[in-house]
């Protein structure tokens, strides 16, 4: 992947533009240095088995996870398709059962 779509480090939106100095997010208004942000391509995120994860991978939950702010529980074995890696303590941006959520890499394994 040499050509990367800029992803907002704040809200993970791809709706953004480069204003000549900074990349500006249309969703949340966050501005960041695109040169620094390009480092996100080199994010090293490993699953619970120590396998490297990449954008577009499918992962499987290895334990039940309670969703913050709700009584819903994501079941162990649920699959997240086409994950996106982001910076932060929840490194995986994905959808499980149609819900957009953030996961910690230590709670999943590569499918």
Give the residues lining the site for Zn ion (CB under 5 A).
8, 10-11, 13, 25, 27-28, 30
Burial class (CB in 10 A: 0-12, 13-18, 19+), 57: buried
Which C-beta is closer to Zn ion: that of 27 or that of 64? 27
CB 26, min distance to Zn ion, A = 8
CA dist., res. 93 & res. 110, Å (int): 14
Which C-beta is closer to Zn ion: that of 10 or that of 40? 10
CB 96, min distance to Zn ion, A = 22
DSSP for residue 41: G
CB 33, min distance to Zn ion, A = 14
In angstroms, how far is CA 51 from the centroid of its own chain? 16
């Amino acid at each position: 992947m040499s050509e990367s779509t800029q992803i907002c480090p704040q809200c993970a939106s791809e709706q953004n533009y480069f204003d000549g100095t900074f990349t500006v997010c249309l969703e949340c208004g966050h501005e960041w240095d695109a040169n620094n942000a390009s480092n996100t391509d080199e994010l090293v995120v490993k699953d619970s088995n120590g396998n490297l994860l990449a954008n577009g991978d499918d992962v499987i939950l290895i334990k039940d996870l309670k969703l913050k702010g709700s009584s819903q529980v994501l079941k162990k074995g649920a699959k997240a398709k086409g994950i996106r890696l982001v910076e932060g303590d929840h490194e995986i941006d994905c959808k499980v059962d149609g819900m957009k959520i953030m996961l910690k890499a230590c709670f999943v394994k590569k499918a």
